[in-house]
Chains A and B, each alone.
Chain A
Amino acid sequence: MSRKKLIVGGGVALTLVVTAFVGVVVLTSSDGDKLTVYTARSHYGDERPFEDYADDEGRDLTLFGGSASELYERLESERENTTADVLITVDGANLYRAQEAGLLAPLDSEQLRRNVPASLRDPQNRWFGITTRARTVVRSKDRVRPDEITTYEQLGDPRWNGKLCLRSATSEYNVSLVADRIAKDGLPATERMLERWMANDPEILGSDTDVLKAIAGGRCDVGLTNSYYLGRELEDDPGFPVALVWADQSGRGTHVNVSGVGVVKGSDEQGDAAELVQFLTAPRQQHLFAANNHEFGVDEKVEPTKEIARFGTFKRDPIDVQGAGRNLGKAVQLMNQVGWN
């Protein structure tokens, strides 16, 4: 081996090692004694409850964002070595998935039972709701009268042919809604409903905001969105020409998904993690979370924002997390089969 060869080879190897080392040092900021929260909630403006906790307890938090699915994959591969202490998701399906994979530790507490209604927490105490999110019908204020549409079924009314806007089937909110209908109404009834929706040749859009804008812009008359997206539009522009319809009020009520929290089983700090979960589910924090994003507290006494409150109170049909969770695969298949992209 020549000297030159040694020098070149050594140089390359050294560069690689140094590069990797610098990367590890710079990017792996040590977690120290901070509590780490994996959160699928958007952290825009969501920091407040965590800051409050840090102030109250004198303990810093690290927030790690990402979609629930990605956080799940991460927890699944880290298992008992995870740095995460608490997991927050934006929908029941992902709570179900984490629970089924054994990623969450049970937590028995009187305070939690008081803060969170039984329908919005795991019967085995592995997760607890913080806020709920209504997915319901929206209509153009100018072109659709309130009595013209009152139920999810009626999105399939032929009068909306070419006038219906839906978000794409990759949206976890849509999949959860369909899975919940399958769990409660059965597959055939849900299939009939979706087929009627599809018969209206809906325009499929990429986000709930796009659906609202399409209605405001006159391309569609009715659609299906989470209520807080309309809350945001109304906050920017109180005259935004779209109204919420609380669907199915004479039936089961409006479909409500749950954003919830649980203690990560692999956490080294179960005690503090449990404390944080209790803190985050207290009515005051429910209120902060809900107010920031126009959602609802799991405790119905928590007041919605004024943008949402103006559509009145409504009967809620909380998602059956176990039932819907078991039917997620069927929901995806069904949506594909009826042509909902």
Chain B
Amino acid sequence: MELATANRGRQFRGRVPKRPDGWTVVTLLIALAVAAPLLVLPASFIVAPDALGDFAGLLPEAVGATALLVAGVGIGTLVLGTALAALVCFYDFPGRKAIEWALVLPLAMPGYVFTLFLLGISNDSGLFAAQLRSPFGAIVVFTLVLYPYVYLLGRAAFLAAGGELIEAARGLGLSRVRAIARVAVPLARPALLGGVALALMEALADFGTVNLLGVQTFTNAIYKIWFGAFDRDAALQLATMLVVVTLTLLAVERIARGRARYATGGGRGRAAQPLRLHGLAAFAATALPLALLAVVVGAPLVQLGAWSVESIRADTLPPEFLVSARNSLLLAAMALVIIVALATLLAYGRRASRSRVTRGSVRLATIGYGLPGSVVAVAVIVPLGWLDHRLDDLAGVGLVLTGTVIALFAAYSVRFLALAFQSVDSGLERVPRSLDEAARGLGSDRLDVLARVHVPLISTALLTAALVVFTEVMKELPATLLLRPLGGDTLAIAVWQATSESLYETAALPALAIVLVGLLPVALLVRLSRTMSRT
């Protein structure tokens, strides 16, 4: 360190030598805390090298199904999310303002709840039963509930910039559609790909949907080996391979947008003036998004509502429904505070110190998102449990880590830090670096710049992060199931316990509550982001 300082002193003659960079330390610590448990996964290859050999037959199918899912959901969410974002940003049609925010609503619909609804309908009517329980069915379900990730980020990018450029392109004789396709979409590429990456990681980590639809992805194979054959080592090895897939995905995403950083050089870009549609085009522009929302949000809400009424009438509500509701809200709210704070420190740390160590730390801290919750839970519980027993031996305090919400928050952090980070980071990237330098030049230190310059500028991004974490924790099932303390049942657990007994009506009210509670912050966020984009 002394040598480095000396070198630096020589390089930048006349400037005060820098102290060791605190931000590097902060990011590294966060990354280690979040990622260290995941070392349990590859360790399984050392403990039991041959475990997976017994189940080698499961591999080709798991790889194939997962690849198909990734391709299908990737294309599906990219096309649907981009098209909808472009529609609401560049065109005007009856009901545009309402539709613009309503299109975010599917974010509140967990895949497993939507699947339950479809299965229930299909069971009663016999419609599309065979098509539903297939990779195709899973792709459709994931595309419909996950496209808002692409839509949200794409819309923000379209609004933030592109107005002048679109008009310039139009001035050069391009039609509006071609101007959008050749100027606006490429400009928004980092945001769009970021959205697709989020959607894909979500799909890869999903267990409920693929299990209900019988698609043989990695998560399903892991579950089969672990909970069917009770071979934890083989399951952890398979989970290790899933981490590799997720890492590959992240790397691809990073390379794709690595050189595509289009800072808008100073002030905000201007949104394009939307083109008024008429006649059939206007009708289609209103009707198609509405039809989509009717299928993904309207119909499930109505059906769940009907089932809920029946369950109340027949007195088949899940036990302690209100306690579950309170627990879900509390857990989500607390996780939000912790995770958004960590994500902000992480994102800002990378911006502030820009060293290789911080870049690596960020990568390390965000790999947990593509993992199934149950795998994360075990990855957390193994080292924490070990630590807990050592602590208990020393001080006789009982299980203070694994017996409480601490383990749960650790798992949530591993799972959802990437989500919050993506959102905070893309917000930060839109703040020109020259601002940092200016503020620093005026004598503020890094933390001061973060508090007084960045946080106000990226408040929308922070809200997005908070919203996403809140809804995700509300929906989260497998890790909560494994790590919840006594008396810690949540709505998602109530849904799962009823569903696993095929008691759809009993599952309906907690499922409805998850969706409705998830809708509130979605609506709030949209309102806020609208007022902000207008001022």
Indicate with 1 or 0, residue by residue over B445-462, a CB within 8 angstroms of chain A CB atoms: 101101100000000000
Interfacial residues of chain B within 331-385, with CB under 8 A of chain A in the complex: 331, 334, 337-338, 341, 374, 377-378, 381-382, 385
Q: Is residue B409 contacting chain A, with contact meaning CB distance below 8 A? A: yes
- For B389, the chain A residues whose CB sits under 8 A away are 79, 81
- Check if A332 sits within 8 Å of B224, measured CB to CB: yes
Which one of A9, A23, A79, A170 has the greatest number of beta carbons of chain B within 10 Å?
Answer: A23
Chain A hits for B213, CB < 8 A: 206
- When distances are taken between beta carbons in the complex, the residues of chain A under 8 Å from B119 are 206, 210
Q: Tell whether, in the assembled complex, residue B487 and residue A28 are in contact, meaning their CB atoms are under 8 Å apart.
A: yes
A-binding segment of B35-43, B97-105, B276-284, B493-501? B493-501
Q: Which residues of A contact B57 (CB under 8 A)?
A: 333, 336-337
**Contacting residue for B501 out of A44, A77, A206, CB 8 A:** A44
B392 CB-CB contact with A under 8 Å: yes
Complex CA gap A42/B319 in Å reads: 11
Given A20-B334, A81-B398, A170-B228: A44 in contact with B316 (beta carbons within 8 A):
yes
Interface centre among B230, B231, B341, B447 (most CB of A within 10 A): B230
B178 to chain A, nearest CB (A): 45
Q: Please give me the residue from chain A that is nearest to B501 by CB atom.
A: A42
Which of B126, B331, B374, B402 is in CB contact (< 8 Å) with A219? Answer: B126
Distance (whole angstroms) from the CB of B371 to the closest CB of chain A: 16
Given contacts A22-B334, A81-B392, contact A332 B225 (CB under 8 A): yes
* Smallest CB separation, B197 vs chain A (Å): 28
**Distance between Cα atoms of A43 and B493 in the complex (Å):** 12
- Which chain B residues numbered 479 to 501 have a C-beta less than 8 Å away from chain A? 481-482, 484-489, 493, 497-498, 500-501
A93 to B377: give the CA distance in the assembly, Å. 23
Q: Looking at the complex, which one of A5, A15, A204 makes contact with B447 (CB distance below 8 Å)? A: A5
Given contacts A43-B319, A73-B378, contact A62 B405 (CB under 8 A): no
A298 at interface (Cβ–Cβ under 8 A)? Answer: no
CA distance A27 to B58 in the complex (A): 39
Which residue from B123, B124, B220 sits with its C-beta under 8 Å from A170? B220
CA–CA, A205 and B214, complex, Å: 8
Q: Is the CB of B341 within 8 A of A20?
A: no
Cross-interface CB contact of B214 among A81, A206, A337, cutoff 8 Å = A206
**A69 adjacent to chain B (CB < 8 Å):** yes
A333 to B57 alpha-carbon distance, docked (Å): 8
* Partner among B61, B228, B486, B500 whose Cβ is within 8 Å of the Cβ of A332: B228
A203 within 8 Å of B (CB atoms):
yes
Task: Report if A9-B447 is in contact (Cβ < 8 Å); known contacts: A44-B319, A62-B487, A81-B392.
Answer: yes
Total residue contacts A-B, CB cutoff 8 A: 184
Q: Say yes or no: A333 contacts B55, CB within 8 Å.
A: yes
Query: B residues within 8 A CB of A300?
Result: none
Given known contacts A8-B447, A19-B337, A337-B57, A169 and B486 CB-to-CB distance under 8 angstroms? no
Considering only CB atoms, which chain A residue lies closest to B56 in the complex? A333
Give A293-327 as 1s and 0s: 1 = Cβ < 8 Å from B's Cβ atoms. Answer: 00000000000000000000000000000000000
Residue from B216, B337, B409, B482 in contact with A70 in the complex, judged by beta carbons closer than 8 Å: B482
Q: Note all chain B residues with C-beta closer than 8 A to A336.
A: 55, 57-58, 61, 224
Q: Which residues of A contact B338 (CB under 8 A)?
A: 16, 19-20
CB neighbours of B229 from chain A (8 A): 175, 328-329, 331-333
Chain A, residues 1-41, CB within 8 Å of chain B (1/0): the string is: 01011001100100110011011101111010000100000
Q: How far is the CA of A99 from the CA of B298 in the complex (A)?
A: 48
Given known A28-B403, A219-B129, contact A20–B409 (CB-CB < 8 A): yes
> Is A241 among interface residues, defined by CB-CB distance under 8 A?
no
| Contact yes or no, B404 A206, CB < 8 A | no
Min C-beta distance of B51 to chain A, whole Å: 10
Q: By the criterion CB–CB under 8 Å, are B498 and A44 in contact? A: yes
Residue A272 at the B interface, CB < 8 A? no
Q: Which A residues from 77 to 127 make CB contacts under 8 A with B?
A: 77-79, 81, 83, 93, 97
Closest to A66 in B: B481
Across-interface contacts of A341 in B (CB, < 8 A): 214, 216
Whether, in the assembled complex, B130 has its beta carbon less than 8 Å from a beta carbon of chain A, the answer is yes
Among A2, A79, A97, which residue has its beta carbon within 8 angstroms of that of B448? A2
Q: Which residues on B sit within 8 Å (CB–CB) of A31?
A: 486
Known pairs A27-B405, A29-B487; list 17 more (Cβ under 8 Å): A22-B330, A22-B334, A23-B404, A42-B497, A44-B316, A64-B486, A65-B489, A67-B227, A70-B374, A73-B377, A77-B382, A78-B402, A169-B224, A172-B228, A203-B130, A205-B214, A328-B228
Q: Enumerate 28 A-B pairs (CB-CB under 8 Å) in ascending A order.
A: A2-B445, A8-B448, A12-B341, A15-B337, A20-B405, A23-B330, A23-B331, A28-B485, A29-B486, A44-B316, A44-B506, A66-B482, A69-B226, A73-B378, A78-B403, A81-B398, A83-B403, A83-B486, A170-B224, A207-B502, A329-B54, A331-B228, A332-B55, A332-B225, A332-B228, A336-B224, A337-B57, A341-B216
What 3 pairs between A and B have smallest CB-CB spacing?
A: A209-B502, A29-B487, A332-B229
